[in-house]
Structure 1
Amino acid sequence: MSFLSGTTKFYDKWNVRGFVLFSLLLQTILILFAPFRKRTGRGFVILLIWLAYLVADWAANFSVGLISNSQKDIRQNREQPNYDQHAAELAADHADILAFWAPFLLLHLGGPDTITAFALEDNALWLRHLVGLISQVSAAFLVFNQSFPKNKLWIPTVLLFVAGIIKYVERTYALFLANLDKFRKSKLKEADSGPNYAKIMEEYASKKEAKLPTQIELIPEPNKESKIARYAAVDEGPLDDDVKAVKHAYRFFKIFNGLIVDLIFSFRERDESRMFFEKRTPGDAFKVLAIELNFIYEVLYTKVVVVHSYRGYSVRFISWCAVVIALSLFYTIDKNGFRKVDVGITYTLLFGAIALDTIALLMLAFSDWTAASIQNSPKRNFCIEAIKRWFLSLLGYYLRLKRINWGKNRPSCFGRARQILFRRWSESLNQFNLIHYCLKDGTKKNRGRFASFFRKCFSLLNLKDFYDTIAYVSKKPFEENLWEFIFVQLKKKSELADEPETAKRICSARGEWVLQNNDWTTEGSSKLMHYIVDVDFDQSLILWHIATDLCYHTQTIDESSDEDTSNRREFCKILSDYMLYLLIMQPTMMSAVAGIGEIRFRDTCAEAIEFFTRKELKGEKIIQVQEQACKMILDVNTDVDPVAVKGDRSKSVLFDACILAKELRKLEYKKRWGVMSEMWVELLSYAASHCRANTHAALLSKGGELTTFVWLLMAHFGLGSQFQINEGHARAKLIVGK
């Protein structure tokens, strides 16, 4: 009983102080660690940020309630008869400092600049935050009112009220602007009725009745084509300057940010973008895409749109000054009546608020937005231009720290730390392999005791998918030559996509374009085509995934082959495992095209596990076991189609993939991997273009995906159905003549 009594007393004494400091700690975690979620897809980092994001608002709200209850208790004790006068004065001072803490919680509810929403769905809750703004400001005001007018700290408290309300309004307004419905409406252009058709036709009819030779001529928009040509001519050459890359990325962000809400664009915008990217090297193109996606991320998940404006700068300066002045006033006030611990906590809150605002200011100053706005600002006098050039050079050094480190150039320890702190996305591809999964998860011999125990525990908690992600998903560094290969393949297709119908046909192709419009066309193409056009996309993906694995593990590298063929072999393996990861572990990425992919995957795994259980697989390493397993699958007689033997109840495609692999093995080594590598790029681009735009945007906050880069590159190359507006003519002119 004494232990419970002591615990209760300790809680009553330290609850307000503890929760106020806990709220400040959560704000520090969010402002420092929130940017890491766009740089890594690791679950524990995302989980830490998610917990801090959820608990931060609760901690601030709960602290306001505790302060209000504490003031109520103080007021009731002071109203009791025979209450000691000195104790009453101490209680009054304590109530004053509690009222001074309440506006800090408004600052915390306003949240840091680095995160306003954890997920896209949070932006739709802006109205709830508006109601929260009203209720929390009212609660904090009531806390302050209970100590007024005898409050010795009323002036700094009012100043903090101003700062807290500003921060809370900023967050609510940022959520409002990032709401996809509002964002879509803000991107819509003014309604264009076009030339007055009725009036022109009236004049046309009257001229015809008068038997005058009349015709209607469309007049092109002035200088549209010349502007595109001038822009392309000026921007030729490599983007060695990172600041220049930011300028181009910002330009295309302003044009194409409507992609995330499925808006359509003009062919002029397509031509301008395509002309720019066709002249870029793959590395420069990737750099521009990474910066452009970073702009999209910050618009949707941070306060950057609200803060990065003259009005935002002014309001933020007022907020910062209010906190600094409050600190100065508190420093000068006589603190004899305050407890030392409360004074220390107050200083911690004040310096913490200033430090967080200063960090936010530095992050904003050294951001892509600042680099873009400085370059786009009008030229002024010599001194201002000199300052701008100096700051841009400083920004250029900072932006160089954000350059991607391609997988083949492994960095030092310092280099790895630099990547984690400054990179723009995760710079890796997740890998998930069906045969490896079946060998490790399905057979007890290869699973191990501890793995079996943990698997059972997670299964009982209905968290098997989470366990599979941890146990069987690996990461592969994203290599420059892989991106170059993807870029070249899409660039070739863009050169053929002058007509909208051709562009749509290319985007809808999921392998047939490679076999029909390529040097790889052979007598066996019709047999391969069956595994593309006659099956669903998810079925085709699993078929080609298993066939790729069977070919990869059962044939040694041809020493006579060139480097390009060897690279293509590796590309097939990487893209194959990456696409299966998306299908199984990221179903939202494939929701528009996946169909019953998970059922096929499960049935295929069940058949594979049953097959492996009957075989005796030997090997010290899993890779050796995997090679044996692939050879055993290929040794199975497949003269009769599996459906003719098994029926169609099971959706397994294990031995259908075996038949496909045997057909591929009939091709010459170079041709085999040439067909398969381009096939996988086409499957990747199909999935990227058919994934919902808001899903691409959602994954930007989880480290990003290669499919999002491919989706944006395809849009810039004009590959897709987004370009439907013809802006080639500004008006019509009625010509009357002989």
Structure 2
Amino acid sequence: MNFNLKKIWDAWDIRAVILFSLTLQIILIFFAPLRKRVSTVYLTLPLWSGYLLVEWAANFAVGHISDSKGDDDRFAAENKVQDVLVFWAPFLLVHLGGPDTISAFALEDNALWHRHFLGLVTQGSSVAYVFFRTVSKNKLLIPTVLIFVVGVIKYGERIRALYLASLDRFRESIMKDPDPGPNYAKLMDEYSSKQAANLPTNIEMIHEFYGDLEEEKSVKKGLSDLEVVEEAHYFFEKFKGLIVDLIFDFRQRNESRNFFLSLKAIDAFRVIEVELNFIYDVLFTKMIVANSYWGYVLRFICFPLEIAAAILFYRWDKRGLPRWEIGVSYTLLLGALILDFTSFFMLLFSDWTTVALKKKGYVLWRLRKPDCGWLNRRWAESIAQFNLINYCVRGCSKRKESIYQWFGIVDVLNRVMYVKCEKFTDQMRDFIYEEIKNKSSLAEDLETAKEIWLAKGDWTLRANSSTHLLPYITESNFDEVLLVWHIATELCYSKDNIVIDGDKPTSSPVNYREISKILSDYMLYLLVMQPSMMSAVAGIGQIRYRDTCAEAEKFFLSRNIMKSTTNKDNQGYNNFFTCSCLKRTTNDEEGEQVHKRREEKHVRACKAILEVNAVVKPVQVKGDRSKSALFDGRRLAKELEELDHGIDKWELISKVWVEMLSHAAINCNPNEHCQQLSKGGQLITLVWLLMTHFGLGNNFQISEGHARAKLIVGK
């Protein structure tokens, strides 16, 4: 049996691998665009595997084809088979070039363009060796050369896209020419000579007037789809330096700020979503190369070459050639044509083409895509949720945790078991937008703007006459502030017995309670599951989080809250929650029962924490050895419950969370924001770009100082 399997593999290895390579191309071209719309491991893992396996397939197939000898018994009787194998080799170069929808899987891949250039040289040389070894007797000489040319072009396009998207090259491409300023030495020589001649001489700064070099953009209420794409591309071109952390002057700030201050929330977020899509295309796809003059020229070269190769192969005498070789050849040719046509179709109806044609006056409308639900989304439109008390009350045993840690799958299991997603609602969008907009309207100068974007909740407390809560923000690092407010929010949420029914009118048009809960769990998710995004502000966040969990589990055990946990419950609960951003299913009765028991236990845990008399600060009892924030959150919850003088507790809490989200967003490294674009996107990234367009952030460091020195000589 093993001998038979070996014979089958020897006969089909090249054919199977080259068809597998074509299958990978189909997967990548159709599913890679979903990366910016869906955040799930079920999509990421296949794409990552396909992205890596393309190179393996090419190396394997080219190596086996080059090892086949002209006098090999398998090919001596049928030279046509060998000609077909040589004909297949250039297709592997085409596959290595990859589809237009993905050039890099991660941001770091762009820096590896040198390696891919070397790959073009080595793989191209291998294919050329296979070709020239049989050139004297190859009956498929011309179609093989045609496909080889196409392969070199495709692979070259990918290398070019990676090179242009590498951060160093990208920064260099958008930086302006160096400005040495006025000739200081010459000016001072003139100044000295005038002084020596006893002439009254002064140096004055003459402010430069730019006139209408940048005409103020007209503002419209309610943007059409075409206008959204136009505005998004305009601001992408203006602010793409954000990717590499460049700075901008006051004119760019004022133009962007005035425009976004005049928009409604829905239009502002639509513009930002499309702008982030432009950034995604530049960094992770071939679009920057495809949407260029030479990009279109090369496409009009490759497609006819592929058609010509297909016609020549069709007219070639294939008598005596095994039908499997014929079928594989036609499959490769048809696959190449379909992939090229699909890529061109996607390019033709892309936002880039829409903008390019509109600029030339060729397009007066934008074709509306059919309503395909989540396929029309610009990002995942979901908010990941992770709750500390929910995590601790389930009490993963140390033994199990150590086993999972040994296998390195603790983080994966935590995401599967404890992370869920909430939909990004219109109410959430409008609330965040209005909060940032109201603060931006006060930021006329850079000093005020800096005070706003540096605030991590204290600005809101002062504005709402809640200065007695300031110590819970100003006297702690951001990671401690986040944990304390997360625990306090959860305790208040659990204690509040108001049931908010979406079908019934509430006292307030804005559900501040739910907004607070969602933002609280989202910020903890970022701290725990996305620490790289919070590294600039989190400090010892991971240590403080672990200490808080340890104290919470110890406390819950002492109050007999965790003893009811059973293996059956854990198993049912693990099956009940998934890491996908879908709503929980209700057709699993056992899962629903487990969920209810967990909810009851969660309520008991919150109630037990609230029953603790936390009059004395925990640090005065325990010292500073443990960084736990559990009972600091209990103290804050008590003060929030005792708010008076007409302040809505949940409105205050929700505004504090928006401010903390804004603080984290603007202090996050731009690279981390860009990384998330290929993983479905993050709300914090949208907030980062929105704040920047409102003129809030550390990228505006050039004030109205455009002036030149002039020597004034008195009479």
Common topology (TM > 0.5): yes
2:652 corresponding residue in structure 1: 675
Q: 1:456 and 1:622 mapped to 2: Cα distance? A: 24
Indicate yes or no: 2:248 matched with 1:265: yes
Task: Return the offset for 1:76.
Answer: 4.3
Task: Return the offset for 1:16.
Answer: 0.5
Indicate yes or no: 2:260 matched with 1:277: yes
> Partner letter of residue 281 of structure 2?
E
Give the SS at the match of 1:475.
strand
Indicate yes or no: 2:118 matched with 1:118: no
1:589 corresponding residue in structure 2: 533
Q: CA offsets per residue over residues 89-121 of structure 1, 9 Å max, x none?
A: 51x111110110000000000011111110011
Q: 2:208 and 2:348 mapped to 1: Cα distance? A: 39
Task: Return the offset for 1:735.
Answer: 4.2
> Partner letter of residue 75 of structure 1?
D
> Partner letter of residue 492 of structure 2?
C
2:71 corresponding residue in structure 1: 75
8 Å CA contact 2:354–2:366 kept in 1: the answer is no
Q: Percent identity?
A: 51
Q: CA offsets per residue over residues 248-302 of structure 1, 9 Å max, x none?
A: 1111101111111111111111111101101111110000000100000010000
- Residue pairs, 1:712-731, within 5 angstroms: 712-726=689-703, 729=706, 731=708
- Residue pairs, 1:448-527, within 5 angstroms: 458-516=404-462, 518=463, 520-522=464-466, 525-526=467-468
The one of 128, 135, 139 equivalent to 2:115 is 128
Task: Return the offset for 1:151.
Answer: 0.6
The one of 409, 414, 419 equivalent to 2:373 is 419
Give the SS at the match of 2:384.
strand
Q: 1:35 and 1:244 mapped to 2: Cα distance? A: 23
Give the SS at the match of 2:470.
helix
Which deviates more, 158-167 or 210-219?
A: 210-219
The one of 235, 239, 250 equivalent to 1:252 is 235
Q: 1:7 and 1:475 mapped to 2: Cα distance? A: 47
In the superposition, relative to structure 1, how do residues 213 and 661 fare at CA in structure 2: closer, same or farther (>3 Å)?
same
2:687 corresponding residue in structure 1: 710
Indicate yes or no: 2:494 matched with 1:553: yes
Q: 2:76 and 2:52 mapped to 1: Cα distance? A: 38
The one of 150, 157, 172 equivalent to 1:185 is 172
The one of 4, 20, 34 equivalent to 2:32 is 34
Q: 1:102 and 1:39 mapped to 2: Cα distance? A: 35
1:237 corresponding residue in structure 2: 221
Q: 1:515 and 1:346 mapped to 2: Cα distance? A: 70
2:571 corresponding residue in structure 1: none
Indicate yes or no: 2:88 matched with 1:88: no
2:559 corresponding residue in structure 1: 615
In the superposition, relative to structure 1, how do residues 107 and 727 fare at CA in structure 2: closer, same or farther (>3 Å)?
farther
Q: 1:152 and 1:100 mapped to 2: Cα distance? A: 10
Q: How many residues were matched structurally? A: 679
- Residue pairs, 1:209-248, within 5 angstroms: 209-224=196-211, 226=212, 230-232=215-217, 234-239=218-223, 241-248=224-231
> Partner letter of residue 555 of structure 1?
D
8 Å CA contact 1:561–1:670 kept in 2: the answer is no
Task: Return the offset for 1:174.
Answer: 0.7
Task: Return the offset for 1:647.
Answer: 2.9
Indicate yes or no: 2:443 matched with 1:537: no
Indicate yes or no: 2:675 matched with 1:688: no
Task: Return the offset for 1:511.
Answer: 1.5
> Partner letter of residue 477 of structure 2?
D
1:580 corresponding residue in structure 2: 524
1:662 corresponding residue in structure 2: 638
Q: 2:688 and 2:366 mapped to 1: Cα distance? A: 32
In the superposition, relative to structure 1, how do residues 154 and 723 fare at CA in structure 2: closer, same or farther (>3 Å)?
same
8 Å CA contact 1:442–1:609 kept in 2: the answer is no
8 Å CA contact 1:36–1:420 kept in 2: the answer is no
Q: 2:72 and 2:339 mapped to 1: Cα distance? A: 37
8 Å CA contact 1:565–1:673 kept in 2: the answer is no
Q: 1:321 and 1:108 mapped to 2: Cα distance? A: 18
5+ unaligned residues in a row in structure 2: which ranges? Answer: 565-594
> Partner letter of residue 124 of structure 2?
V
RMSD: 2.3
Indicate yes or no: 2:554 matched with 1:605: no
Task: Return the offset for 1:209.
Answer: 4.6
1:366 corresponding residue in structure 2: 349
2:620 corresponding residue in structure 1: 644
Indicate yes or no: 2:133 matched with 1:150: no
Which deviates more, 132-141 or 309-318?
A: 309-318
Which deviates more, 332-341 or 557-566?
A: 557-566
Q: CA offsets per residue over residues 143-164 of structure 1, 9 Å max, x none?
A: 1112112111000000001100
Give the SS at the match of 2:254.
helix
Q: 2:344 and 2:395 mapped to 1: Cα distance? A: 49
Give the SS at the match of 2:536.
coil
In the superposition, relative to structure 1, how do residues 561 and 600 fare at CA in structure 2: closer, same or farther (>3 Å)?
farther
Task: Return the offset for 1:442.
Answer: 4.2
Indicate yes or no: 2:297 matched with 1:314: yes
Task: Return the offset for 1:333.
Answer: 1.0
- Residue pairs, 1:172-211, within 5 angstroms: 172-211=159-198
> Partner letter of residue 531 of structure 1?
Y
Q: CA offsets per residue over residues 158-215 of structure 1, 9 Å max, x none?
A: 0001100000000111111111111111121100112223323333444445555554
Q: 1:599 and 1:219 mapped to 2: Cα distance? A: 55
Give the SS at the match of 1:276.
helix
Q: 2:492 and 2:61 mapped to 1: Cα distance? A: 62
Task: Return the offset for 1:137.
Answer: 0.4
The one of 589, 592, 603 equivalent to 1:627 is 603
- Residue pairs, 1:309-348, within 5 angstroms: 309-348=292-331
Task: Return the offset for 1:497.
Answer: 2.0
Q: 1:105 and 1:577 mapped to 2: Cα distance? A: 47
In the superposition, relative to structure 1, how do residues 237 and 256 fare at CA in structure 2: closer, same or farther (>3 Å)?
same
> Partner letter of residue 553 of structure 2?
I
In the superposition, relative to structure 1, how do residues 49 and 260 fare at CA in structure 2: closer, same or farther (>3 Å)?
same
> Partner letter of residue 393 of structure 1?
R
8 Å CA contact 2:58–2:92 kept in 1: the answer is yes
Q: CA offsets per residue over residues 13-67 of structure 1, 9 Å max, x none?
A: 0001000100000111011111111111111111111111111111112111111
Which deviates more, 190-199 or 424-433?
A: 190-199
8 Å CA contact 1:552–1:569 kept in 2: the answer is yes
In the superposition, relative to structure 1, how do residues 152 and 727 fare at CA in structure 2: closer, same or farther (>3 Å)?
farther
Q: CA offsets per residue over residues 489-528 of structure 1, 9 Å max, x none?
A: 1112212222222222222211121223x1x114xx23x2
> Partner letter of residue 628 of structure 1?
R
